[in-house]
Structure formats: structure tokens, C-alpha cells
Structure 1
Amino acid sequence: MYKTSELRDKEVINIDTGEKLGNMIDIEVNFEEGCIEGFVLPGERNAFRLFSKNTELYIPWSAVKKIGSDVILIEIKERTIKV
């Protein structure tokens, strides 16, 4: 069992592409069913961030393949962006 603070400290890596996606900034919990639905990562950084909307990357919990001591390995084919 993990605390949310422990999960937030782990780097998230997509095993499909090998890309480092960052660290969690939020976790989506379904309290009615008592499970984690997914989590949110910061979106891509933009040089013109002052002029663009903040975007976030949503990762469904079903994409999590392994939680290690330092990283969370996920497998996603397409990114789901939240604005």
C-alpha cells in the first residue's frame, strides 16, 4: 500500500515510448467504489507559456503497469489532455 505523498514523489515513465512524463500533481479517486480512477501530470512545457492555456495530462489507473521504488511505469498509446 502506498501513501499519495509517496506516489507523487515517483517519476512517471511511459514504457511504450520510454518518455519521462513527470510527477503526479493530482489523483482522481472514486469514493463510491473506493478506488483510484487515474492521476494527472503537468502538460508539456511551452516557451510561450504566458500566452497559452495550462494543460494537464490525464493517465487512467488502468495504464499503470508497475510501481517501483523510484518510478511508476505506465503504458499509453495516446495522450489525453485536460485543459
Structure 2
Amino acid sequence: MRLSELSGKEIVDLKRAERLGVLGQTDLEFNEQGQIKALLIPSMKWFGFRKQGSDVRVPWSHIEKIGTDMVIVNLEQ
């Protein structure tokens, strides 16, 4: 799968049924081999300004399913 195919998909937490963000507005963490290690989802934004809070880090191993419209993650692993 190409990175361009992931862009625009919503990231949803399986346990809380909560929307975490959209791929394309997240940062990616890579390992030494160039593989994606984790998704870094920024904290909530308000009119383009970042509110207080830390980013949500989703390890690649916590991704349950990548569908046509969304990425389902399990943050409680």
C-alpha cells in the first residue's frame, strides 16, 4: 500500500468508537529501515491553533484494519 492511498482516511479507535483524526493531518514515525513505526496524531486544533495537550501516538502494531474510508485502531492493547 502506498502512502498516498492512506491519505484522507479517518482514524477511529475501536474500543471507544471515537474519531482520532485524519491520515494526512498526522505525522509518521519511521524506523531505520524506512517502515512506518507509529502514527502521531496531533492534539485538537481550534481555528488552526493548537490547544494544550499531547499528541496521540498509535504504534503500527495497534492498527486492526485499513478499510476504504477509515483506519481502525485498538489503543487498549
Q: Could you state the TM-score of these two structures normalised by the residue count of structure 2?
A: 0.75
Structure 2 gap segments, 5+ residues each? none
Aligned length: 74
Query: Which segments of structure 1 move beyond 3 Å, counting only runs of 4 or more?
Result: 52-55
Higher helix share: 1
2:10 is the alignment partner of 1:36? no
Q: Percent of aligned pairs with the same residue?
A: 29
Deviations along 1:10-69, whole A, 9 cap, x unmatched?
Answer: 00000111001111311111133x5321111121346xx57x546321110011000000
Q: Are the counterparts in 2 of residues 27 and 40 from structure 1 also a CA contact under 8 Å?
A: yes
| TM-score normalised per structure 1 | 0.71
Q: What are structure 1's unaligned runs of at least 5 residues?
A: 79-83
Larger radius of gyration: 1
